[in-house]
Structure 1
């Protein structure tokens, strides 16, 4: 699946909230769910720059990682992020696991955490921010690879 970066940016800026659309079942915003509880959802990134990149979000439309969550809600969310990150590490055995909260009021405003597993052996100049930027390319896993990874992650999550 080829990513059109300009079309992605346009949709992120002017389309519906991608997390809310996904949760409503909008087929244009379909993702593979790997974990769900009453307040959180974790799903495979549609445009992964690293294998097994997973997004974790509260189901409620929250936009600010710190000021819109009380301490208990923030702690619950971070425990889900940790649980999913441990499953990603178990399934993929990365050299490093990156955790980032991205988005802004201009695009992808719904609070979400990226869990990105850096495979062993990636040259230093292709790690860190370089490995996370869609401008440097996205992966195109096959449906079979996606299904296998989803199964492995769900199993690791119990």
Structure 2
């Protein structure tokens, strides 16, 4: 118990000094990533345009999701015949199936373009059969106050 209290006491200044910075542009996002900062993303899906099964939906799901940019790649304009620069990241986690029984792999990928547009793709893959059970694409932009449903934060 004494060791735990000592470690907690010693870590307290580091925790108190950790700074979170809201990123409100593609340039700020790229600067944070290139500086090696931890970047976290939070998505408010109900404020996004939803395309599910190749059809534009009238209403998006009232859900919130998030991910860390652990692995990412930046592509400069024209580097792969792309018209504008962009950064991509993805993650996959095993979760309890919110649509049924058992477990699914929740695969999320994000593409952020230099104009601030954001595409979030969410797929559920059955953990046993490996069949895709859901595929949705959400479109929004980087949050700048009242506009945009993709929020980005850099943690130092």
Structure-2-length-normalised TM-score: 0.29
| Structure having the larger proportion of residues in strand | 2
Structure-1-length-normalised TM-score: 0.29
| Structure having the larger proportion of residues in helix | 1
Structure number with bigger Rg: 2
